[in-house]
Each structure stands twice: as C-alpha cells, then as structure tokens.
Amino acid sequence: MGPASTWPEQSPEDGIKLATILRNQPLLEHLELRSRKWDMDGWLSATDLPHLRSLVAREDEARWLIPGRPITSLTFLEVDKVPEDNAWKELTASSTPITSLTACFIRKDSISPFLKSAAKYMGALRSICICASSLRLEHLGIVYEGFPTFKELQSLSVALPSRHHRNLQPDNSYLAALRMSVQRGSPSTERVTLDNLEALA
C-alpha cells in the first residue's frame, strides 16, 4: 500500500501552499481534504500526483484533482446539490474509471436526485456508500424508491447514526425493501447493508 496523507484539521495554509506541498509528493496515493474548502484551481499541473488513486474532498476540489489522475475511489464531502453536467464531466475524467463512491450528504433530500444523476455518469461503480446524519430508518424510502440502475454495482451501504443503527434487526423491513429495490435495478448487487455512521468517521 502506498503513502497516504491527511491534511491537519486546523491548518493555516492556503491553497497555493498546499498545492506546493502536493507537487512534492509524486508517490501519494490517498489524499483527504476534510478540514476546510481549498482553492487550488490552476496551481497543480496535469503531471502532479500521478499515482493518486483515492480522494476525499468536496465537489470543487474533486473537479480540480480528478482529471487525468488514476482515481478509482472518491469520497464526496458536504453534498447538498446535484453536480451540473459540466461538473460531472470533470468528476469522471480520471484516467481509470471510478469504481467506489462514498457520498456524505448535508440534506437527505439530495440523496435520490444525486444517485440518479450519478448513474448517468459513473457507470463503472461497484461500491456505493451513502452517509447523512439526518437519515433515519423510516427515511430509507428516499434511497430505494426509484433507485437507479448501476450495471456494475456489487455493494451498497447506507450509514445511519448510531442511535438508529444499534437497534437494527437483520430482518428489518426497511432493509428488506432497500435490498429488493436495489437488486431489481442492479441485479449484480450482492451486498446491501445498513452501517453505523459514527464507525465510518
């Protein structure tokens, strides 16, 4: 496994300085930009970060970092809207298909339209994880009603806050409905689970 980097939570550095640091990390494979929004537009060249395979970032940051790099795993932070068509083109311009997507939503109402849009642009997805602190068991219909077709999907995980996850039974009717809906449209899906949101943080 190659080197990884997580940017410090309270860094005073700006986007230009961060880009300078990243340019000097040619072997970097995993990058997390969690603590704040960064503006690196134009500060990284197409030859920087040639081995970056896994990215945790917000939409704007991902649009700057994905094109031309071999990113296969993307974690989207603070999702509150569906990316526009031109944004999707940049988000899917990696040199290898993105096969793993984790989307962390600010509002649960964004989940369904985001997934439907993602299905149009990210056809190679094999694994999807959906996170939202406002999501409850009774809200799972937002996820499974009209769940779009992902032809390559093998695994879907929905992360719930621990207070809702801890009492979950294996035969829960919400989970059963979720499995049925997902596997109807994406029959290759082998695993549909409800996970603990706090355990994934």
Using 50, 70 and 90 to split pLDDT, how confident is the model at 44?
confident
148: tokens are 């779009």
Look-up of token digits 């030859």? 47
Question: Distance between CA atoms of 151 and 99, rounded to whole angstroms?
Answer: 12
Share of the chain above pLDDT 90, in %: 54
Q: How many CB atoms lie within 10 A of CB 63?
A: 19
What's the mean pLDDT when you consider all of the chain?
A: 85
Using 50, 70 and 90 to split pLDDT, how confident is the model at 10?
very low
User: Do residues 188 and 153 make contact, with C-beta atoms less than 8 angstroms apart?
Assistant: yes
User: Do residues 152 and 188 make contact, with C-beta atoms less than 8 angstroms apart?
Assistant: yes
Predicted pLDDT at 164: 54
Residue 95 pLDDT > 90: yes
Closest CA to 118 of 141, 152, 95: 152
* Model confidence, pTM: 0.86
Mean pLDDT of 15-22: 81
Look-up of token digits 């640091």? 21
Closest CA to 181 of 134, 149, 137, 136: 149
CA angle 118, 189, 104 (to 5 degrees): 40
Using 50, 70 and 90 to split pLDDT, how confident is the model at 166?
low
Q: How many CB atoms lie within 10 A of CB 201?
A: 8
100: tokens are 């793993």
